Amino acid sequence: MRVVVLCSSPYSETGCATTARLAQLGHSPVGAITLPSWDQATLVRKLGQWGLRDSARYAWSKLSPAKTTTPKQTRNPYFETALRQGHNTFRNLHDVAVAHGFPVVVTADQNSQKSIAQMQEWSPDLAIFTGGHILRKPLLEVPRLGVINSHLALLPEIRGMSSPEWSLLCGVPLGVTVHFIDAGIDTGPILLRREFLGAAECGSMLDLRNRMIAYGIELVCEAVAALAVGTISPVPQSDRDRQNQFFVMHERLKTQATCRLKKIGLAAASKFDA
């Protein structure tokens, strides 16, 4: 199975963890295409997700030179297994590429002719999207099987942004869906659709999201392995909830979602005590 990974930045932990985990499981990519470290659209998105302080702290942790032999901590603690190599931690996609022997191409636009030409040269069976631009049809059609993505919610019920929070508010079970990307927003055929059962252990929305992202990487790797041996087939999404499209959640609603997450934890604790 010839796999290409598409990343939002060489310093994307999700992109690095996905790529490293694939390699660990015997599916080392034939190449990776990434946006630049300081892509404007990516910066705006990260600032919206993390806030200025956390974004600046994360950028400094990745770009500052290593001064000690102590391994750097990952922002997402559930990436430790994927990003740790011996006594070192992969700090960027180039580190992963050197360790596992694949090229990395940096482009300002994942849909550019440069990206498409590079993809065609690599002739992948499958591409894995870990973040970046909205992908257009010319690029989506290059991989033989298509491009897959991990979505932090059950599809088709919850599409779009802030999906764990909207799942909590809408009373939809938390879950992760691995699906093919098509011209719509989270509307492509589904490969894996699993509920996330660890919400009761999560101390915050950030912890929930971190755990779900790590779980999504494992599901992506499972899907790649199954596609490689032909034991899985994509299932088209039903027309149910076809019009449902969720956007970035207001802070007041995030507070309500957090309260519902805490109630899940309290309910589980009460059940355990009983």
Ramachandran assignment for 126, one of left (phi > 0), alpha (psi -120 to 50 degrees), beta (any other): beta
* Domain parsing of the chain, residue ranges: 1-144, 149-274
Mean pLDDT of all residues in the chain?
90
Single-letter amino acid, residue 95: D
Return the pLDDT at 69.
46
Assigned superfamily of 149-274: Formyl transferase, N-terminal domain (3.40.50.170)
Dump strand ranges (E) for the chain.
3-7, 31-34, 84-85, 88-89, 104-106, 126-129, 146-151, 175-180, 190-195
pLDDT in tens, 148-196: 999 999 999 999 999 999 999 999 999 999 999 999 999 999 999 999 9
Residue 61 binned pLDDT confidence (cut-offs 50, 70, 90): low
Return the pLDDT at 51.
59
Return the pLDDT at 132.
92
Separation of alpha carbons 166 and 238, rounded Å? 20
* N residues, the chain: 274
